[in-house]
Structure 1
Amino acid sequence: MPSIVRAVLSAVTASCVVIGAAGCVQTPAPLPSGTASSSAPPRPFTVLTEQRANTTDPAGGRNDSDAMVTLDLFQRLMLVQPSTQLLKPDLAKECLFTAAQVYECTLPKDVVFTSGRGLTSADVKFSILRAIRLAPQKMSMLAALRSIETPDDTTVRFRLKYPDNQFGFGLAVPAASIVDHVAYDSDKLRPVEQAPIGTGPYQLDSWDSKGLTIARYARYRGPLGTDMPRIRIAWSDSPTAEEALTDAKAEIVWRTLSPAAIDRLQNRIVQDQDDGRPAGYFRWGLPRVVLQRLVWLSRSPYRANASLRNAVALALQEDRTASSILPSMIEGHTDTFALGGEPKMPKLEPGIALALRFTDSSPAMEDLANHVRDTLQQKLGITVQLVTESERADLELRDSAPMVNTAVGWLQDYLKNPLPGSAGKLSNLEERIRSSSREDVQQPALVEIQKQAAADATVVPIAETDGVLFLRQRVDLVGEAFGPGWQLALWGARWRN
């Protein structure tokens, strides 16, 4: 495995120990071979999240909740556990390089879609090409793809433009999920009103204005089987989620709680432990898996203004705690953005008015958006207006998961939208990293990309923070409990014995 994608499990485990006093218990245990012996309570297993899912089409996902739904309803050829960066088959029986620029996957013969039709290599080819056409940015990890061949129903042969050590990881991202080519339109996203057709461990049971319900798919064939017959995923604000967790009306609360609610819950856990009482819930350890960043959107007329981009980066320097667009827990991280101090602010031309939006993943993002707006206005003398996530904007605050938890995966925010003057250089550097397994080749290229990111300032890091995931004490997460970029995947949910 290339040096820049080595496991980061040791860092995660060490951080979990630090958090342990506040209720962090473990990272996912190995997937059990049998089924859980305890029975589910009368109401469905319930997951609460503030971030609403918008689609069941893998090519249409816009946020981490969309990714969660996709991960549960569909399969991908490959699977990645983010804590170890271990790449292994999911839908495929095996995938391997048969030549330097040929990646070949063999499919099982007994996989059946929820439509009742058997899956073949034609579905895989259709799904990958469809996703590249409908969602090219989400499929940028497959940039080396030249063509796809299907010599028989169980063989998929990918021919590449150059040797690519990241290609298998690209086949594990949510957008690369396999759909039924007979049922899906090759040029349009599937509406929510039409039932999704996949081969994942779950199938959609219902979707309404308050959330969705998924049910175990009896004909699922793969490594991620679940014992949970039904799971309800409901949209919730922070006060409702906090109350539901303390009153045992929800099993999992994900990316919903305000900073104050998180502090209250963790304090109650500590108090219960001090009083010798079993806490009713605990926080799952996800240390520093979230990178908050400010991204210039490609349609902004101000994006080409280098002085303004650099001024924005300088204005955020005093509060910045993340020093690169590559998180410090990933091998290859290099400090390229200055931290702290009181940098001198440049003088900008008058009349600049920017629109800033933010991903609605948690209440903390709204607080951060207000802080960033106030900082830019006070230090730069410009106007910044907060707009909704669906409105056009110049800047966007993001804390969404990367496509996959590797160095190249984290860099896609920057690499897939380069400035015209940097595009050629960045393309060559990325190909150099992907096509070599030598650290003395990869490392300098990786450092140069991070330096260029600081010079371009189209993606500005703000802070590395912990993921927010609370579970009831009766609940556990086992096996490959998260998607490739730390997205919650419900196939790992179990009742504790």
Structure 2
Amino acid sequence: MPSIARSLLSAVTALCVAVGTAGCLQTPAPLPSGSSSATAPERPFTVLTAQKATTTDPAAGRNDSDTMVSLDLFQRLMLVQPGSQLLKPDLAKECIFVAERIFECTLPKDVLFTSGRPLTSSDVKFSILRALRLAPGRMSLLGALSSIETPDAWTVRFRLKYPDNQFGYGLAVPAASIVDEAAYDADKVRPVNQPAIGSGPYQLEGWDARGLTITKYQRYRGALNTDMPRIRIAWADSPTAEQAIADGQAEIVWRTLSPAAIDRLMDRSRQAQNDHREPGFFRWGLFRVVLQRLVWLPSSQRRSDAALRRAVSLALQEDRTASSLMPSTIEGHTDAFALGGTPKMPTLPRGIKLTLRFTNTSPAMADLANEVRDQLQQRLGITVQVVTESERADLELRDSAPLVNSPLGWLQDYLKSPLPGSAGKLATLEERVRSSSRDEVQLPALGEIQKQAAADATVVPIAETDGVLFVRQRVDLVGEAFGPGWQLALWGARWRN
């Protein structure tokens, strides 16, 4: 694990103290050795989110709900617990550097896909190469990969172009999930109407217009055992989800709630505690795990205009609360983007029109999109049209999780689409971070990347915010309950005894 990865456990603890210990859990408990004895309700364990999943193919994921599905249905060679940055095997029995540029993983011999086929090294090689073709942006942490060898059915050998301390983290990202080579097309995304075939702790039971249902995969072999036999993941807007968690008709509500709904639920929780009653739900402490950012899309013809990019960044400075593309909770954070003040706005040519899109299933992002539009129009004298996530645009507001909760994981939005004039410098700096484990090498290089990001302004930070996750009082999330970038995973869901 790189020395620059700082645990977020102290930050989460601070949040729990701030909101009261009865309203927050500090950190997932260890995985239990046996099954829970509590009686579950007749309906399935229910998770509500407004962000609809679009695919079961891990190489085609576009949003955090797609990521959740991939994390639950498939395995990856490696596993990362985001709070501690602990990197350990998931599917693999062992993964080690056998030489400076050779990373070798050994597979167990008793893993079966839900199709019944044994999972072998050939499936691993196929899946990684397939994902690199179909989803190169989501596999960018494997940039040092040169070739993959399979000397036998249970050994996978990765040859690297240079020593890389991030390579194991790249094998833990959702897109690096292992699929059945016999069932998946090497060059095409698997349609939703074809069964998902993985080896994860869950398997897909059904998918419909209102959500999807997953069930425990009884032949799963791995580090993430679950006691939950069946989980329903359903789509719901903020009012529906708010009422459901308050009435005990949902076990988890993720992302969906508007700021006003969050305030109302927290008020209900505090009032219940004042009345010496259990509130029935609580907010899970995810302190500053979301970075709201404005991204210039590579397809935009306006992206190459350096003066316009700088003007957009300046127009957001007065209200900006995040000073880097790395959250302040991550060691190596550098204050690269100016905050506050009254910067002098440049004079731009008349008639500039930009299109701004946002994730329309997130109520907070809808409000933010309108605020950003107003700031750009009022301060720069340009026209900005707000559209939803499926439409073409110049700019995009994002609050999606990073690939991994690590410095380079957070910087991938910027690093994977560099400006031509910055590409060489950034590649050198990124390799410097990857190939050394010494702070005196890594930290200056990370600082230079963040400063170059501010100069290029192709990705502009807006605010660091807390994750929105409400959990029913009788539910717990234990063990490695989240994906590598704080994505929700359901393998840690348990009924409390």
TM-score w.r.t. the length of structure 1 is 0.99
Structure 2 residue aligned with 1:40: 40
Does 2:49 align with 1:49? yes
Alignment root-mean-square deviation, CA: 0.9
Unmatched runs of 5 consecutive residues or more in structure 2: none
- Please report how far the alpha carbon of residue 487 of structure 1 lies from its aligned counterpart in structure 2 after TM superposition: 0.4
Kept after mapping to 1: 8 A contact 2:80/2:86: yes
* Within-5 A mapping of 1:193-204: 193-204=193-204
Kept after mapping to 1: 8 A contact 2:9/2:26: no
**TM superposition outliers: structure 1 runs of 4+ over 4 Å:** none
* 354-363 or 434-443, which deviates more: 354-363
Structure 2 residue aligned with 1:383: 383
| CA–CA distance in structure 1, aligned partners of residues 2 and 85 of structure 2 | 11
- Please report how far the alpha carbon of residue 256 of structure 1 lies from its aligned counterpart in structure 2 after TM superposition: 0.4
* Paired letter, 1:196: A
- Please report how far the alpha carbon of residue 438 of structure 1 lies from its aligned counterpart in structure 2 after TM superposition: 1.0
| CA–CA distance in structure 2, aligned partners of residues 427 and 392 of structure 1 | 29
The superposition leaves residues 377-413 of structure 1 with CA deviations (integer Å, 9 ceiling, x where unpaired) of: 1111111011121111100000000000000100000
Unmatched runs of 5 consecutive residues or more in structure 1: none
Kept after mapping to 1: 8 A contact 2:6/2:329: no
Does 2:351 align with 1:351? yes
Does 2:439 align with 1:439? yes
Helix, strand or coil at the partner of 2:422:
helix
* Paired letter, 1:437: S
Kept after mapping to 1: 8 A contact 2:72/2:489: yes
Helix, strand or coil at the partner of 2:47:
strand
Helix, strand or coil at the partner of 1:232:
strand
Kept after mapping to 2: 8 A contact 1:361/1:399: no
| CA–CA distance in structure 2, aligned partners of residues 297 and 334 of structure 1 | 24
| CA–CA distance in structure 2, aligned partners of residues 80 and 225 of structure 1 | 16
The percentage of aligned residue pairs carrying the same residue is 77
| CA–CA distance in structure 1, aligned partners of residues 262 and 440 of structure 2 | 43
Kept after mapping to 2: 8 A contact 1:16/1:287: no
Structure 1 residue aligned with 2:221: 221
| CA–CA distance in structure 2, aligned partners of residues 30 and 348 of structure 1 | 56
Structure 1 residue aligned with 2:480: 480
The superposition leaves residues 255-290 of structure 1 with CA deviations (integer Å, 9 ceiling, x where unpaired) of: 000000000000110010011111110000001000
* Within-5 A mapping of 1:298-377: 298-377=298-377
Helix, strand or coil at the partner of 1:326:
coil
Kept after mapping to 2: 8 A contact 1:22/1:266: no
| CA–CA distance in structure 2, aligned partners of residues 151 and 164 of structure 1 | 22
| CA–CA distance in structure 1, aligned partners of residues 231 and 8 of structure 2 | 31
Does 2:16 align with 1:13? no
| CA–CA distance in structure 2, aligned partners of residues 17 and 94 of structure 1 | 38
Structure 1 residue aligned with 2:116: 116
Helix, strand or coil at the partner of 1:316:
helix
* Paired letter, 1:171: L
* Within-5 A mapping of 1:54-133: 54-133=54-133
Kept after mapping to 2: 8 A contact 1:72/1:200: yes
- Please report how far the alpha carbon of residue 361 of structure 1 lies from its aligned counterpart in structure 2 after TM superposition: 4.8
* Paired letter, 1:315: A
| CA–CA distance in structure 2, aligned partners of residues 3 and 19 of structure 1 | 31
Structure 2 residue aligned with 1:164: 164
| CA–CA distance in structure 2, aligned partners of residues 444 and 251 of structure 1 | 44
Structure 1 residue aligned with 2:140: 140
| CA–CA distance in structure 1, aligned partners of residues 229 and 454 of structure 2 | 48
Structure 2 residue aligned with 1:265: 265
| CA–CA distance in structure 1, aligned partners of residues 339 and 216 of structure 2 | 48
| CA–CA distance in structure 1, aligned partners of residues 407 and 454 of structure 2 | 16
| CA–CA distance in structure 2, aligned partners of residues 250 and 12 of structure 1 | 24
Kept after mapping to 2: 8 A contact 1:16/1:286: no
* Paired letter, 2:232: R
| CA–CA distance in structure 1, aligned partners of residues 219 and 386 of structure 2 | 47
| CA–CA distance in structure 2, aligned partners of residues 22 and 382 of structure 1 | 48
- Please report how far the alpha carbon of residue 27 of structure 1 lies from its aligned counterpart in structure 2 after TM superposition: 1.4
* Paired letter, 2:365: M
| CA–CA distance in structure 1, aligned partners of residues 371 and 443 of structure 2 | 35
* Paired letter, 1:112: L
Structure 1 residue aligned with 2:207: 207
Kept after mapping to 2: 8 A contact 1:79/1:87: yes
| CA–CA distance in structure 2, aligned partners of residues 360 and 470 of structure 1 | 20
Helix, strand or coil at the partner of 1:490:
coil
Does 2:294 align with 1:294? yes
Query: How many residues are paired up?
Result: 497
Helix, strand or coil at the partner of 2:339:
coil
Kept after mapping to 2: 8 A contact 1:139/1:176: yes
- Please report how far the alpha carbon of residue 11 of structure 1 lies from its aligned counterpart in structure 2 after TM superposition: 2.4
| CA–CA distance in structure 2, aligned partners of residues 6 and 487 of structure 1 | 18
Structure 2 residue aligned with 1:150: 150
Kept after mapping to 2: 8 A contact 1:203/1:215: yes
